[in-house]
Amino acid sequence: MESNNPALRNAPQFKRGGYAGFDDRSTTATASTPSLEDLYAAPAASPAQTGRMTYDDVVMRTAMVLATVVAGAVVGWMYPGLAIVGAIIGLVLGLVNAFKREPSPALIIAYGAFQGLFLGGVSYFFNIQYPGIVVQAVLATFATFGVMLALYRSGAIRATPRFRKIMLGAVLGYAVFCLINFAFVMFGAGTGLRTGMLGLLIGAVGATLAALSLVLDFDFIEQGVKNGIPQRYAWTAAFGLAVTLIWLYIEFLRIIAILRGSD
């Protein structure tokens, strides 16, 4: 029995003048097709293999964003005049990334670079007036990060629905205050409201809100890993952590500057 299909014409079973026997088929199937027992015994696919977010994904992408921030800060330190450019573009990119439904790695990395320019320039000017303040602010930032992570992991503080509502209102209120204070500075009110004891109190409030915002970041990461969200959202987690750490660093710069200025 010959086949007219050229793809089958040269097959061994057709060369023999007939179909392969039952024994041939069973041997082939046994050799190439795993049994149900083999399937049950095989290890489960890992989250990475199924394209789900893992803690390692978040750590790696956060490290990439923070490395970009540091690189931008080095350039900003060398050319502090670029701080205003970094601030404006960084703010725009921050808003774009915050409202995008899907994370964009390129935009998140760009945000880190321009925010780095801003931080580098600001840090340069602070360090001229208060030598060593940058190191103090960096240490305070990462110490706070470590403490908040330990508290979260221990269960001492959790992102409950009530906590989320309170944080939303508090952060929005603080943002409105910052805009008002910026308007005071722009229209000739000196350094605005962030000076002296009032400035110290406001800085403490800002640093507290930034520290508590880390809890929301940690909760997003934990729930994302537990629920198996797509791997690309590790970039969203990295962006959130970068925003919070930058905010926390700026608040510590201001607090330390006020404390050292009152000596």
Q: 225-242, pLDDT tens digit by residue?
A: 999 999 999 999 999 999
CA–CA dist 6, 20 (Å, integer): 18
Section 57-67 average pLDDT: 97
* Higher-pLDDT residue of 1, 124: 124
Indicate whether 20 pLDDT > 60.
no
pLDDT band at 217 (very low <50, low <70, confident <90, very high): very high
Indicate whether 169 pLDDT > 80.
yes
pTM: 0.80
Three-state secondary structure of 22-91: HHHHHHHHHHHCCCHHHHHHCCCCCCCCCCECCHHHHHHHHHHHHHHHHHHHHHHHHCHHHHHHHHHHHH
Indicate whether 22 pLDDT > 80.
no
Tokens found for residue 106: 């390129």
Section 35-55 average pLDDT: 65
Spans of all domains in the chain: 6-41, 57-261
pLDDT band at 211 (very low <50, low <70, confident <90, very high): very high
Q: Judge whether 80 and 33 are in contact, CB under 8 Å.
A: no
Mean pLDDT of the chain: 84
Residue in this structure with the two tokens 């041939």, named with its chain if needed: 24
What whole-number percentage of the chain has pLDDT above 90? 68
